[in-house]
Amino acid sequence: MSRQSLVLTFDVEDWHQLVHRRLGLVDWDQARPALPRQVDSILDRLDGLGVRATFFLLGLTVRRYPVLAAEIAARGHEIACHGDAHRPVHTQTAAEFRDDLQTALETIERATGRVATGYRAPLFSINRNTPWAYDVLADLGFRYDASQYDSARVPNRIQGIPGEPYILELASGRTLWEFPVAVSRVGGITLPVGGGSYWRLLPERTLFRSLRAAATDDRLPTIYFHPYEWDPDALHIVLPKGASLGQRALAAERTLWRAAGRARVPRLVQAAAREFRLQTCEQAYARLDDVGACRRSLSEEGRLL
């Protein structure tokens, strides 16, 4: 009997870079030692498991760490796109979104030698107000999107998301595959289980029982993590001496939340690799068949039909 499958992905962004930008610090775009340490930990552990993953690279992070991006590609992992400036899609116009994607694609190809054909929106922000985002993705040659997550933490999310990859049929007649993030649905209750936050906090038995349910009939649910969740060292935001009380409070709040349960993640992924077949979006895409696939279109109200 073959093992159930999970699609393993990482959103490659420098957590310190984004937090420093959020705090309005002038040094936000400096390279720091944390991200290379975190990514090295991920790559070494995946090598040990004999597993490859999809890495959604953020353009502004790739510009600061081009050697690191090249190393991910050199180690045999799939290179995909997480946009450029980490701006939610719903805060951009269609033209701004296109520019953001084109900048990211050029940056990623320059660093890795790969053309990204998969996309994930920052904060899963393709929502009911931005159906035009799919047309932009299709225009730019993307084959699949991985921006849908039926979690209550995602505001204004598209309704009716299936529990398996599906073909999204656009009004233009073009199509995109969508790889939704894993959730478990029991008795009308939806439990998000695809993201690192849930792997850090859910009881292990609940997590794996939910993953088995999500992967029933080999539905290829997606899981995702961030590099900070694999840091072998403690998370620590270094603030300038002149940082305000508000900046220090926000930095402490962000650190406490991100640090909770972090040590569990690599161990649980190792356990998942023993039970499930972990693969890239690209590997899963190669297994998908347009004939008989789940097909959906998007209504004006932002619901999948």
Q: Locate 129 and state its tokens.
A: 């107000």
What pLDDT score does 233 carry? 94
Pairing of strands 118-119, 144-145: parallel
Residues 6+ apart with CB under 8 A from 86: 13, 18, 58, 60, 122
> Which tens digits make up the pLDDT trace of 198-243?
999 999 999 999 999 999 998 999 999 999 999 999 988 889 888 9
Per CATH, which fold does 5-296 belong to? TIM Barrel (3.20.20)
Q: 37-51, 69-83, 114-128, 247-261 — which is least confidently predicted?
A: 247-261
What pLDDT score does 1 carry? 53
- Mean pLDDT value of segment 173-182: 97
Q: Locate 269 and state its tokens.
A: 């992924």
245-251: Cβ within 8 A, 24+ apart: 247/23, 247/24, 247/25, 250/22, 250/23, 251/19, 251/23
- Mean pLDDT value of segment 148-158: 93
What pLDDT score does 189 carry? 86
**What sign does the dihedral 99-96-141-220 (CA atoms) show?**
positive
> pLDDT tier at 95 (50, 70, 90 boundaries)?
very high
